[in-house]
Structure 1
Amino acid sequence: MKFRQLLILMISLIVVMGLAACSQNSSQKIKLAEVTRSIFYAPQYVALEKGFFAEEGLEVELTTTWGGDKTMTALLTGGADIALVGSETSIYVHAQGATDPVINFAQLTQTDGTFLVAREKVENFSWEQLKGSTFLGQRKGGMPQMVGEFVLKKHGIDPHKDTNLIQNVDFANIPNAFASGTGDYVQLFEPTASIFEKEGKGYIVASFGTESGHVPYTTFMAKKSFINENQEVIEKFTRAIYKAQIWVEEQSASEIAKVIAPYFEDTDLSIIETVIDRYKSQGSFATNPILDEEEWNNLQDIMDEAGELPARIDYQTLVNTQIAKKVMSE
């Protein structure tokens, strides 16, 4: 065989083998929408940074959609395959008569992630001190506000009668409103709460997560049709999340902070570590992806107390634990 023919044959073989290798190593692309960017979602960023999704053959494209309504719109219109958002949104969608319901299949956080921040240092804080105060709350109908009201009522405070409740400020502008002088108390997510404390703009006096108990605060969900048509992909996704949950449970706040720091470039590493330590100490990060029935019922109790529950939905209707259980049993 002439050299030229041999060379052509070798090149052809290399191309064919390369194509075959590419075919074998090709990743399944997943469009993931997160409701906001938050240290609260640390295990998700760990799964990305530690390569747990890649190990499962998944290429995850993460988009921050900034709001539950926008996140669900992205999911329902095909702009996202999977959404990380509060479970209450799946109930709202179901109540609107969705023919392709949104199913919760893996839980990421299991407590509220907000903290009560006072403008002044408070010695020996008690919830009674909120009576007569101006309370800068969260958006009506959203999980933070519903949990906030639930906790206040648990302590004998009707936020609509006993406080001057402000909840017409857009989510993204709440910290700025408080920093500008609005409110005696504010309900804030991290890292803003810790940053305000460090800068002397406010002081953390209580945790809504500790007070409210376990709830499916943020879960991964997808349309029922997508789950049915992509069972293997959902299993791989859940397996990667479970790996990250185990890793976060076993590692120190310092180590976790280093891994997720690229997602919070404008936040000091020391603040990230403080926030993670606070969330770990109160058990905010779910240690496995199973959303259990008690948590689901607690969520609906909180929604009902806030007057935002359109209808009580059976656990089996909007929650799928089969995938999580299968992954955990491997």
Structure 2
Amino acid sequence: MKIARTLSFIAGITAATLTTLPTPAAAEDVTKISFMEVIHSLFYSPLYVAIGNGYFEEEGIAFDLIAGQGSDKVTAALLSNSVDIALAGPETTLYVETGKSPEKIRIIAGLTATDGSFLIGHDPATGDFDWSSLKGKKILGWREGSSPAMFLRAALEKAGLNPDEDVEIITNVAIPARMGAFMSGVADYGTFFEPDVTTLEANGLYAQTNVGQAVGDIDYTVFIAREAYIAEHPEVVAGFVKAIAKAEAWIAEAPEADVAQVLQPYFPGVGLDELAQSVLRHRAAGVWKTTPAVAPEAIDALQDMLMYNGLLAVETKVAFENVVDPSFFAQSAQ
């Protein structure tokens, strides 16, 4: 994929497809902000815990949940000033920083520590999964250049496999058709997010391992805002990050049944048992951050991955302080 094509969303600001989702009634004396999440997913459960447990209300903040259906659309909405704070992949800050947009955005908090997808197989896993055992296998992956595609390639490479030669990665199956295609035998293995993982297991398939664990800590989804908004509303940003910090700490320790009860209003089509199983799976894999802090090492590793995949030019490597505003991390712990 050409870098210019990757960065093209910066030049064209388009309207996102919006899906309004349920949020608790806000208190009377609150600041209403405009917020957008990249998609609505169980992977982002700490966000919904922060809403459901009233942590944002405690900080005097209220917002509706709107799904942008893609990091490009989320970033476009942010740059056009129609969104104040957003949840998206951290790579968006790098693309904007190295692009021509006069507006720049900063990461204010981290939500997920690494890839939350799981490798699914047709047979039960035995012991610790050996990624090198995938040699010669077909794997149902994701669109080329997407984050889950990059993380899968990184996991294979760490196991000494060449993703282009030692395995066959299927990338042309549309997202709505992925589960059906996998169950019909299109591939030996596939990577899926919750709640699809639990659904596949209920249909006789087996989770093998988490992709992110094989790759290591590279922040996968973060909260971002424009530099100008951060400067104009530091108290709102500080309160937002504090609410996320409370949720990350709570979900790391709370009984899974309690977490499931909090999450259910945001996933009405998913049963409590499935939600509880999802909590256990994510927690065991360590994909949720326990604090909102984003480390320089994680941003460096992300840039290395993007450069390796041809999505970021080597000569445009960005300094940590040019994409992350760490000033709210310490405040959130108070």
Q: Does 1:229 align with 2:232?
A: yes
- Unpaired stretches in structure 1, ≥5 consecutive residues: 1-23
2: CA distance, partners of 1:122 / 1:283? 19
Where does residue 314 of structure 1 map in the other structure? 319
1:147 to 138, 146, 151: 151
Gaps of 5+ in 2: 1-26
Cα deviation for residue 161 of structure 1 reads: 1.4
Task: Output the CA distance in 2 between the equivalents of 1:128 and 1:106.
Answer: 34
Q: 1:195 aligns with which of 192, 199, 214?
A: 199
Q: Contact 2:125–2:207 at 8 Å: present in 1 too?
A: no
The normalised TM-score by structure 2 is 0.86
1:93 aligns with 2:96: yes
Number of the residue aligned with 1:17: none
Aligned equivalent of 1:15: none
Aligned partners of 1:257 and 1:273 also within 8 Å: yes
Q: Aligned in 2, Cα 1:283/1:31: closer, same or farther, shift over 3 Å? A: same
Matched, 1:325 2:330: yes
Alpha-carbon distance in 2 for matches of 1:232, 1:215: 28
| Alpha-carbon displacement from aligned partner over 1:142-164 (angstroms, at most 9, x marks no partner) | 22111111110011111111222
Is the 2:46–2:111 contact (alpha carbons within 8 Å) kept by the matching residues of 1?
yes
Match among 18, 31, 34 for residue 31 of structure 1: 34
The Cα of 1:180 is off from its aligned counterpart by 4.0
Other structure's SS at 1:159 match: coil
Deviation at residue 108 of structure 1 after TM alignment: 0.8
Give the match for residue 51 of structure 1. Answer: 54
Secondary structure at the counterpart of residue 148 of structure 2: helix
Deviations 1:212-233 (A, max 9, x none): 1111111100111111111111
- Once the 2 structures are TM-superposed, how far is the Cα of residue 141 of structure 1 from its aligned partner? 1.9
Aligned counterparts of 2:181 and 2:307: Cα–Cα separation in 1: 29
Measured in 1, the distance between the counterparts of 2:172 and 2:29 equals 47
Shift of 1:25: 4.5
Deviations 1:101-135 (A, max 9, x none): 12101111112101111134454653233222221
* Alpha-carbon distance between aligned partners in 2 of 1:130 and 1:251, rounded to the nearest angstrom: 36
Aligned counterpart, 1:156 = 160
Q: 2:24: which partner in 1? A: none
Q: Distance in 1 between matches of 2:105 and 2:172?
A: 28
Partners in 1 of 2:308 and 2:134 — Cα distance?
19
Alpha-carbon distance, 1:278 to partner: 1.5
C-alpha distance in 1 between matches for 2:50 and 2:186: 38
Q: Secondary structure at the match of 1:211?
A: helix
Equivalent residues in 2 for 1:1-330, closer than 5 Å: 25-123=28-126, 125-200=129-204, 202-310=205-313, 311-328=316-333, 330=334
Equivalent pair of 1:238/1:289 in contact (CA under 8 Å): yes
Corresponding pairs, count: 305
Decide which structure has greater helix share. Answer: 1
Q: Which amino acid aligns with 1:131?
A: K
Relative distance call for 1:122 and 1:248 in structure 2 (3 A) is closer
Q: Which SS does the other structure have where 1:98 is aligned?
A: coil
Distance 1:227 1:172, change over 3 A: farther
**Structure 2 residue identity aligned to 1:140:** E
Is the CA contact (8 Å cut-off) linking 2:242 and 2:331 kept in structure 1?
A: no
Which stretches of structure 1, 4 residues or more, deviate above 6 A after TM superposition? none
8 Å contact kept, 1:34–1:65: yes
Deviation at 1:326, TM superposition (A): 2.2
RMSD: 1.9
**Superposed displacement of residue 187, structure 1:** 1.2
Could you tell me whether the CA contact under 8 Å between 1:149 and 1:306 is conserved in 2? no
Q: Cα offset for 1:308? A: 2.3
